[in-house]
């Protein structure tokens, strides 16, 4: 099943069920008005949403509308909690080597994670307004899971059962602001502006055998200004999503609607490219002694997509520009 949230002038949009081929959408408001409402009542609403999806995929589009990804908000336009991990250790290892950073004690055994701001997510086809190019504008391709209620102390295997939907995100970063925030030890705020999401949130079964052991076993295709930038594989997560959820729930319960991110998708193989500019710059520093790739400029476009084994886009593509914020 694939779900989207369409713009309707409200902050939370209108929940829609989308056909597997992304051509048609059915209004889900008789079942749940918003995705937050749906995830809070998942055991009740999921079968009814699945019935709508089956109608669409069976060709019954009598009361459907053509699906326009340009009208899609983030599937969950605002979240009560957004926790982002760093589950690909190759990414951290590159940063440590490039900047001569001390290793983080226990990072290979305990996931890194910070609490982000989830009050204002952006649709995957919307422009990203930012204050200044001097702040080091970067994209970051990640996978994300949306959970229902998770009890405190939940184990990693049990945590996997709480994953109801999978999403794909461009976790926008401002690299020039990050070092100071990292040194404070309080985590990111200004360095992490509003993130953007691919149009569709999908149930794990949509991935088929590409969803196993709590990982998305598919490459994330990234382009910058129409040029290939990378296709790192999601299956190389060192910590799976069950472990990330368990980490977040160690000392508190997680309420339905919590989003858990994988961190930048990264592979040790250099031929896979990267899912963020900072990683490419780190490789350049290691190989050439200095970074050669600049960060994004206003008007630059980033595209991210994940294709299934049949070549069909799974989440719908993120395809957006960064622009000068107005006023």
pLDDT in tens, 174-217: 999 988 988 888 888 899 999 999 999 999 999 999 999 999 99
Predicted local confidence at residue 71, as pLDDT: 98
Q: How far apart are CA 265 and CA 275, in angstroms?
A: 6
- Tokens standing for 223? 């382009």
Q: How far apart are CA 224 and CA 140, in angstroms?
A: 11
Three-state SS sequence of 245-281: HHHHCCCCCECCCCEEECCCCCCCCHHHECCEHHHHH
What backbone torsions phi and psi does residue 180 show, to the nearest 5 degrees? Answer: -65, -45
CATH dotted code for 82-324 = 3.90.850.10
| 241 C-beta neighbours (distance < 10 Å), count | 29
Rg (CA), the chain: 19
Predicted local confidence at residue 247, as pLDDT: 98
Predicted local confidence at residue 116, as pLDDT: 95
Predicted local confidence at residue 182, as pLDDT: 83
Query: Using DSSP, how many helices (H) and how many strands (E) does the chain show?
Result: 7, 21
| 31 C-beta neighbours (distance < 10 Å), count | 20
Ranges of each domain in the chain:
2-71, 82-324
Q: What is the pLDDT of residues 64-79, one digit of tens each?
A: 999 999 999 999 999 9
Residues of the chain scoring pLDDT < 50? none
Predicted local confidence at residue 187, as pLDDT: 85
């Amino acid at each position: 099943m694939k779900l989207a949230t369409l713009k309707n002038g409200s902050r939370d949009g209108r929940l829609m069920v989308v056909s597997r081929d992304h051509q048609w959408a059915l209004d889900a408001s008789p079942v749940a008005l918003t995705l937050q409402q749906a995830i809070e009542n998942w055991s009740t609403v999921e079968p009814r949403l699945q019935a709508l999806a089956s109608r669409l995929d069976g060709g019954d589009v009598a009361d459907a509308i053509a699906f326009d990804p340009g009208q899609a908000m983030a599937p969950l336009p605002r979240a009560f909690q957004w926790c982002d991990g760093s589950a690909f250790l190759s990414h951290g290892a590159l940063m440590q080597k490039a900047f001569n950073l001390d290793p983080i004690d226990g990072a290979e055994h305990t996931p890194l994670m910070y609490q982000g701001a989830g009050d204002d997510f952006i649709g995957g086809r919307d422009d990203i307004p930012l204050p200044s190019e001097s702040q080091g504008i970067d994209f970051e391709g990640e996978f994300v899971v949306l959970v229902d209620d998770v009890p405190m102390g939940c184990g990693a295997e049990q945590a996997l059962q709480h994953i109801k939907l999978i999403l794909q995100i461009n976790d926008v970063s401002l690299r020039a602001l990050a070092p100071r925030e990292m040194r404070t030890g309080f985590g990111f705020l200004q360095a992490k502006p509003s993130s953007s999401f691919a149009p569709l949130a999908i149930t794990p079964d949509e991935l088929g055998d590409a969803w196993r052991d709590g990982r998305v076993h598919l490459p994330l295709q990234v382009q910058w200004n129409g040029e290939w930038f990378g296709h790192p594989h999601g299956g190389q997560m060192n910590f799976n999503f069950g472990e990330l959820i368990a980490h977040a729930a160690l000392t508190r319960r997680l309420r339905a609607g919590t989003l858990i991110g994988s961190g930048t998708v990264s592979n040790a193989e250099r031929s896979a490219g990267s899912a963020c500019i900072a990683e490419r710059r780190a490789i350049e520093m290691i190989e050439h002694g200095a970074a050669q790739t600049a960060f994004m400029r206003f008007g630059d476009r980033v595209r991210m997509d994940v294709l299934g084994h049949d070549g069909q886009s799974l989440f719908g593509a993120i395809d957006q520009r960064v622009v000068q914020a107005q006023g």
